[in-house]
Structure 1
Amino acid sequence: MNYVQAADDYLMYLEVEKNYFVNTLTSYAFDLKLCGDFLTANDRSLNLDELTSSSVRRFVQDQVIKHAIKPRTLQRRISCLKSFSQYCLKENYMKSDFTAGIQAPKSDKKLPKYMNLQELNKLFAYLEQDPRPQAIRNELMFKLLATTGMRRQELGDLIWEQVDLDNQTILVRGKGKKERLLPLHPIVLPLFQEYRQRLSEQQNHYSEPIFYNKNNNKQLNPRGLHKIFKETLDRAGLPSHRFSNVAMTVEKVSCNFLHTNCSICFKLR
């Protein structure tokens, strides 16, 4: 079996049978292509039965020495290749594991960064007074994050079909196409109403995305959301944390926040 053909089968398996998230599929496809390109460039066989752990180890060394790949990225690439190898063995595409003996490097574990309650109040105060055209959109996005804990990708993927304002719920579709039904906090209900009034009839259709870019002609992607989050924090006079994902964690300490007894902070990871 040829490496490229087997990689295509593997990615289809992850998408159809394992319901992998689109970002994971994109990353795995990129990792598999990198390895395949390395094998071709170094005159190594793409026949799976001729692929050895020595070739994969050389690929890993190339990533570290020539491309200075960070440990966390390298961990993902090795994990991808190991999973791919196991899939090929299960499908009888080859007889031996070409990742045997290859270990992923350890990465430093950093403590998570939090946005405390005082900072969150400062952020919301800024959002409520922001005069820019997209202020209502930004306020709705941040308050949805704070009250639901959804991920950045989940926020960007929202369509109007997922929001039920009558029953005050939102259906969140997460990794692996798993769904969870969450209650909408009362503070976001009027924001939804006001935001919808600013959209066109077509943009209010149940199949349309909720959040658009500043020109209102294209759905926001994760990179665009990242830029908005960082820019908003800067404008609010808050530390510009590195956003790769935003999740809400509810601590066991009770406090008065947004007229409800809860304690909310952002965990940036």
Structure 2
Amino acid sequence: MKSDFTAGIQAPKADKNLPKYMTLQELHKLFAYLEQDPRQQRIRNELMFKLLATTGMRRQELVDLTWEQVNLENQTILVRGKGRKERLLPLHPIVFPLFQDYKETLLEQQKHYGEPIFYNQKNKPLNPRGLHKIFKEILERAGLPAHRFSLIHLRHTFATLLLQENKDKVDLRTLQELLGHESLATTSMYTHIDFEQKKKAINSFFIS
């Protein structure tokens, strides 16, 4: 065709699906299992998933971590996100001692500043697929619905709970920097979750 007859026609806006996330109770349940898991990789798993839940990192960002990105003295972690953009995040107090405990389980050469932090059972660097598989297995063992949650939902959980529990202390700009979003519009989707909860609360209030 020589001309596009659809030019200038505005497409209808599609409904935006609200991101799924864990409730605070579900997150506590996950943490409780991680802390008592009897298996050999307990410390590694506890560190990985508590780190994801308290920083909002993407799974690729986690598996790409090397020791040079972690400063245990200053309790900070340098995350390299999309387009190799860097953001410096503070470590949550519950994560800092886990790093120290985990480091003691590694071989001396695995502690080199340029080496990956997380390994699989074959002592090879962990990849996103392996991390996903571990997470699904842990969800089942913790009594949480594995079909409902995936690793991205830990990121959604971090952002949502941070806004819900700390509205007076955390604004969207701060959350944008923590998550590494280029656009504030992307970060604003987490305010829709809070509004949706308010709407449900109002609709459940029946007045006869």
- TM-score normalised to the size of structure 1? 0.53
Please state how far the C-alpha of 1:235 moved relative to its aligned partner: 0.6
* Counterpart for residue 181 of structure 2: none
Counterpart code for 1:141: M
Write the deviation string for residues 39-64 of structure 1: whole angstroms up to 9, x where unpaired: xxxxxxxxxxxxxx9xxxxxxxxxxx
Write the deviation string for residues 215-243 of structure 1: whole angstroms up to 9, x where unpaired: 2x211111111111111111100011242
Matches within 5 A, 1:238-257: 238-240=144-146, 241-243=148-150, 245=152, 246-247=154-155, 248-249=158-159, 250-254=162-166
Greater percentage in strand = 1
CA distance in 1, matches of 2:136, 2:126: 15
Q: Does 1:235 align with 2:147?
A: no
- Where do 5+ consecutive residues of structure 2 fail to align? 2-6, 168-189, 191-208
Write the deviation string for residues 107-146 of structure 1: whole angstroms up to 9, x where unpaired: 7643211100000111111010001011110100111112
* Counterpart for residue 115 of structure 1: 22
CA distance in 1, matches of 2:139, 2:56: 18
Write the deviation string for residues 185-228 of structure 1: whole angstroms up to 9, x where unpaired: 1111111111000000110000000000122x211111111111
* Counterpart for residue 197 of structure 1: 104
Write the deviation string for residues 74-99 of structure 1: whole angstroms up to 9, x where unpaired: xxxxxxxxxxxxxxxxxxxxxxxxxx
CA distance in 2, matches of 1:135, 1:150: 20
Q: Does 1:221 align with 2:127?
A: yes
SS of residue paired to 2:87: strand
Counterpart code for 2:33: Y
CA distance in 1, matches of 2:30, 2:42: 12
SS of residue paired to 2:145: coil
Counterpart code for 1:251: L
Larger Rg computed on CA atoms: 1
Q: CA RMSD in A?
A: 2.6
Q: Does 1:209 align with 2:116?
A: yes
CA distance in 2, matches of 1:206, 1:182: 18
Q: Which structure ranks higher in relative contact order (CA pairs < 8 Å, sequence separation ≥ 6)?
A: 2
SS of residue paired to 2:73: coil
CA distance in 2, matches of 1:134, 1:238: 20
* Counterpart for residue 79 of structure 2: 172
Q: Residues 244 and 164 of structure 1: is their aligned pair in 2 closer, same or farther, counting only changes over 3 Å?
A: closer
CA distance in 1, matches of 2:49, 2:164: 22
CA distance in 1, matches of 2:31, 2:165: 21
Matches within 5 A, 1:43-54: none
Matches within 5 A, 1:99-114: 109-114=16-21
* Counterpart for residue 258 of structure 1: none
* Counterpart for residue 95 of structure 2: 188
CA distance in 2, matches of 1:139, 1:221: 17
Counterpart code for 2:98: L
CA distance in 2, matches of 1:165, 1:137: 16
Q: Percent sequence identity over matched residues? A: 73
- TM-score normalised to the size of structure 2? 0.68
CA distance in 2, matches of 1:219, 1:206: 14
